[in-house]
Amino acid sequence: MAIWNQLRQSAQGMQEQLTAKKNDLKSGAFRDASMAMCALVAAADGTIDAEERRRVAGLITTNDALSNFAADDLRAKFDGYANKLSADFDFGKVAVIQEIGKVKKKPNEARAVIQIGIIIGGADGNFDDDEKKVVREACFALGIAPAEFDL
């Protein structure tokens, strides 16, 4: 139970940070990288089923830090990346990581994308090893040390 409480507190703190910075997170590159990250975390085990898609899509459209963007646009972007990952996980992962890497030159956006990945990964109470692995890979693509996020 202690690990779950720690994860929940960490995710809550990250969500509060993101909400505080949401006025700075308005670029299309941030939107796209965030949705790519959400799809990557949802498909971290190599598959993404319909229920997982619905759950993540629900989290995306209700996340205050993403409220600068139309819910339909977020959902369309997420679905596009999820479809790439579902069709061919390894090939799709390369494309999705490239999309995430597009915010590398904007450190605030890059860190926010990683935080979103952690929040999505931990939303079910279990930030598993596959999810941590893909978030670490995204950190490397963004030039961020995974240790900064205890990964």
pLDDT tens for 33-64 read 999 999 999 999 988 888 888 889 888 988 88
CB 111 within 8 A of CB 141: no
pLDDT tens for 132-144 read 999 999 999 999 9
* Whole-angstrom distance, CA of residue 148 vs CA of residue 111: 10
Q: What is the pLDDT of residue 108?
A: 92
The pTM of the whole model exceeds 0.75: yes
* Whole-angstrom distance, CA of residue 40 vs CA of residue 23: 25
Cβ neighbours for 1, distance < 8 A, ≥ 6 positions apart: none
Number of domains the chain contains: 1
Instruction: Return the sign of the alpha-carbon dihedral for residues 149, 29, 141, 135.
Output: positive
Q: What is the pLDDT of residue 9?
A: 57
Q: Which structural domain, as residue segments, surrounds residue 50? A: 2-149
pLDDT tens for 90-100 read 999 999 999 99
